[in-house]
Amino acid sequence: MDLTLIWKAVLIGVVEGLTEFLPVSSTGHIILVGELLHFQGPPGKVFEIVIQFGAILAVCFLYRQKLWNTAVGVLRREKPAMRFAATIVVAFMPAVVVGVAAHKYIKSVLFNPTVVAVALIVGGVAILVIERFAQRPRIKSVDDVDLKTALLIGLCQTLAMVPGVSRAGATIMGARVFRVDRAAAAEFSFFLAIPTMLGATVYDLYKNWSTLNWDGGAVIVLGFAAAFISAAVVVGAFVRFIGRHGFAVFAWYRIAIGAAALIFLSI
């Protein structure tokens, strides 16, 4: 196997893990870094979605106790567990509808560096505005999110179909608009990511199964492992950071990266 391809795959996996749960757009970063490195991954465009799944598994590992308690609670028909599971399902459904309907258009038209750069800048400005005018939180725990708020957060998640918007950014900032506490908004985004990215992984693998090969599989595994490890490191630190400092630093980072990308693309 090409050693250059290996280190590029690992680097992109690390980028995915570090950015999947931050409001900076992991997909946008992968597109930009891939363009910068001239990365030609496995055929079928499956590499990106599988390394995202690696990051999602890291969240499953970190929050395994909450997931287990919810699963057991649902089986026992305990109201708190059933309520929490219902909010995740309700928030997930808009992405299912929009994703299936617009999947081909999104992949073929919107996945390009220019769209990413512009979305990064616009998203950064949006974060600054939301942080400035967000009202006092009324929901301070993921267990307190109601079905209406969950649906509204799910509708916000559909904006992340545009690469560069950021799934985490759309859901966290959407939750902040609807008066969810910062830490609770981040954790709800983490849990919502599990069915969202699992569904996207299964759908993309199904659509591209015939294009996979063993060489491509090895590169995917390396990127997957790198994403899992780096995501496991960053998630806890992110929740602690935003609880103390908020999201402004991520907004300015988005604006700087987006502007730099536009300059690079224009050269």
What is the tens place of the pLDDT at every residue in 33-92? Answer: 888 888 876 655 667 777 888 998 999 999 999 999 999 999 999 999 999 999 999 999
- pLDDT tops 70 at residue 211: no
Instruction: Determine, yes or no, domain membership for 260.
Output: no
φ/ψ region of 179 (left if φ > 0, alpha if ψ in -120 to 50, else beta) reads: left
Tally the C-alpha atoms within 13 A of residue 221's C-alpha that lie toward its C-beta: 7
Q: Average pLDDT, stretch 183-209?
A: 85
- The confidence score (pLDDT) of residue 42 equals 62
Residue by residue, DSSP assigns 38-79 as: T---STTS-HHHHHHHHHHHHHHHHTHHHHHHHHHHHHTT-H
Instruction: Determine, yes or no, domain membership for 12.
Output: yes
* Domains contained in the chain, number: 1
Residues in the chain: 267
Q: Which of 118, 112, 126, 135 is nearest to 169 (CA)?
A: 126
Q: Average pLDDT, stretch 181-206?
A: 87
Q: Average pLDDT, stretch 193-219?
A: 74
pLDDT above 90 as % of the chain: 56
Dihedrals phi, psi of 220, to nearest 5 degrees: -60, -45
Task: Give the mean pLDDT of the chain.
Answer: 88
Q: Tell me the C-alpha distance between 219 and 2, whole Å.
A: 10
**Is-contact 189 179, C-beta < 8 A?**
no
pLDDT digits (tens, 9 = 90+) for 14-27: 999 999 899 998 87
- The confidence score (pLDDT) of residue 198 equals 85
Q: Tell me the C-alpha distance between 251 and 206, whole Å.
A: 35
pLDDT above 70 as % of the chain: 92
Parent domain of 137: 3-253
Those residues whose C-beta lies under 8 Å from the C-beta of residue 34, and which sit 6 or more positions away, are 12, 41
**Structure tokens, 73:** 């609670």
- The confidence score (pLDDT) of residue 49 equals 74
- The confidence score (pLDDT) of residue 213 equals 57
Chain Cα centroid distance, residue 9: 19
Instruction: Determine, yes or no, domain membership for 264.
Output: no
Name the more confident of 209 and 13.
13
pTM: 0.85
Q: Tell me the C-alpha distance between 80 and 213, whole Å.
A: 44
- pLDDT tops 90 at residue 215: no
Chain Cα centroid distance, residue 111: 15
Name the more confident of 103 and 174.
174
- The confidence score (pLDDT) of residue 69 equals 96
Q: Average pLDDT, stretch 85-103?
A: 89
**Is-contact 114 262, C-beta < 8 A?**
yes
Q: Which of 20, 26, 15 is nearest to 164 (CA)?
A: 26
Q: Tell me the C-alpha distance between 234 and 232, whole Å.
A: 6
Q: Tell me the C-alpha distance between 160 and 99, whole Å.
A: 10
**For the ranges 124-138, 146-160, 188-202, which has the lowest average pLDDT?**
188-202
